[in-house]
Amino acid sequence: MAAAGASLVHANVPRSPPWEGDARAAGAAPHAGHGSEAGGGHANFRAGGLVDHRANGFDPHEVLRDFDWGSPRRLASGRVMREWELVAVDKEIEVMPGVRFQAWTYNGRVPGPTLRCREGERLRISFVNGSAHAHTIHFHGIHPAAMDGVPGIGAGEIAPGSRTVYEFDAQPSGLHLYHCHVRPLAEHIAKGLHGALIVDPADGREDADELVMVMNGFDTNFDRANEVYAANSIGFAYMDRPIAVKRDELVRVYLVNALEYDLINSFHLHGNMFQYFPTGTGRSPSELTDTVMLCQGQRGILEWRFPHVGRFMFHAHQSEFTELGWQGFFDVCERGDPRLVCRLPSDAGP
Ligand SMILES: [Cu+2]
């Protein structure tokens, strides 16, 4: 992240720090240590508007719990075939209040749809390139070379106006990702062509309030460094509106690092510790911790319960990323609280 980029984003992002808004709402003075820094730190976002999620066509709060199970049908063999259509679309999105970004998207959103299936199913993804540039979809997981979505192999680069089909078995169970693999690779991924692929174990997982967080960022001034950091694209979205979860209920976060230009990203949870399952491929956690660090393309599953009601932060533990958007709150509520929108996966998945 370059200093020039930080200045630019400060000049163009009217925002108040979220804690200042909370303090005002509570009738208290703003937190002097942050809101009054007068350009000295990244947290110097001034009072102003919110991102227009409707204009973007996606809301990071909906992205959290939006699992796309595709169109399933049973084959003569008894196996389930699951089909999706992903369309690459060039689209301007607002990533911070007033900061617009010329994104490349799958299906008009960043991250792309969270594709979800069960281990052993057959997956068929039709890819239509409605963008002005050549793209692919490269899936992580185990599959034949021709289905790998890289230039020069199989269908290779898919030209504007063309289409292809990727078809393979869902294996192994765990949390994977998909992204474009056309060069220059960092630009194709960072402009928005990335998303999560969840392969459930054949015997499922324990019911939980499940959330997808794809950590990403945006290079708004083309210096190959990020000016905006977030989970699910929109900086501060979960500060402006905290994520409501139930006290004592299992929370499961599918955490993917799709960030480019920075080698490392992280997730830190306040007031609690989580069990961490690297890549989600094993059933035994590797660690009970409150911070996990992920390289580009790494991902893992986090599980915990909040024993206490109240407001708890989560954020990248790199302070620079935190102050440029990658932070949020959980509001831990008692059962019956109208803020709760959790749907257990057993209620939703076909
Ligand atoms: Cu691409």
241-288 residue pLDDT tens:
999 999 999 999 999 999 999 999 999 999 999 999 999 999 999 999
CA of 259 to the centre of ligand 1 (A): 15
* Segment 147-157, tens digit of pLDDT: 999 999 999 99
* Segment 76-86, tens digit of pLDDT: 999 999 999 99
Split at pLDDT 50, 70, 90, the class of 344 is low
Range in 14-23, 178-187, 189-198, 269-278 the model is least confident about: 14-23
**pLDDT over threshold 90, residue 188:** yes
Say how far residue 293 (Cα) sits from the centre of its chain.
15
In this structure, what DSSP letter does residue 30 have?
P
Identify residue 128 by its one-letter amino acid code: V
Closest CA to 171 of 197, 132, 208: 197
Q: How far apart are CA 55 and CA 52, in angstroms?
A: 5
Q: Using an 8 Å Cβ cutoff, are 96 and 17 in contact?
A: no
Q: Which two tokens stand for residue 125?
A: 């993804």
The stretch 62-78 carries a mean pLDDT of: 97
pLDDT number for residue 116: 98
Residue indicated by tokens 């765990």: 174
pLDDT number for residue 12: 43
CA of 324 to the centre of ligand 1 (A): 26
CA of 136 to the centre of ligand 1 (A): 6
CA of 120 to the centre of ligand 1 (A): 28
CA of 89 to the centre of ligand 1 (A): 11
Split at pLDDT 50, 70, 90, the class of 339 is confident
The stretch 138-153 carries a mean pLDDT of: 97
The stretch 181-208 carries a mean pLDDT of: 97
Phi and psi at residue 83, to the nearest 5°: -125, 145
CA of 180 to the centre of ligand 1 (A): 5
pTM: 0.86
CA of 157 to the centre of ligand 1 (A): 9
Residues surrounding ion ligand 1 at CB below 5 Å: 135, 180, 182, 188
Closest CA to 265 of 287, 227, 291, 240: 291
pLDDT number for residue 343: 55
CA of 35 to the centre of ligand 1 (A): 39
Q: Which residue has the higher pLDDT, 201 or 36?
A: 201
Cα dihedral 186, 191, 194, 195 sign: positive
The stretch 211-228 carries a mean pLDDT of: 96
CA of 101 to the centre of ligand 1 (A): 16
pLDDT number for residue 49: 76
- Cis ω on the peptide bond leading into residue 201 (within 30° of 0)? no
CA of 123 to the centre of ligand 1 (A): 21
pLDDT number for residue 341: 76
Range in 18-27, 118-127, 152-161, 249-258 the model is least confident about: 18-27
Angle at CA of residue 315, ends 309 and 316, nearest 5°: 155
Residue indicated by tokens 């708004």: 220
Q: Using an 8 Å Cβ cutoff, are 105 and 88 in contact?
A: yes
The stretch 308-327 carries a mean pLDDT of: 96
Range in 12-16, 272-276, 302-306 the model is least confident about: 12-16
**pLDDT over threshold 90, residue 200:** yes
CA of 100 to the centre of ligand 1 (A): 20
Grouping H, G, I as helix, E, B as strand and the rest as coil, residue 347 is: helix
CA of 210 to the centre of ligand 1 (A): 29
Pairing of strands 194-200, 174-179: antiparallel
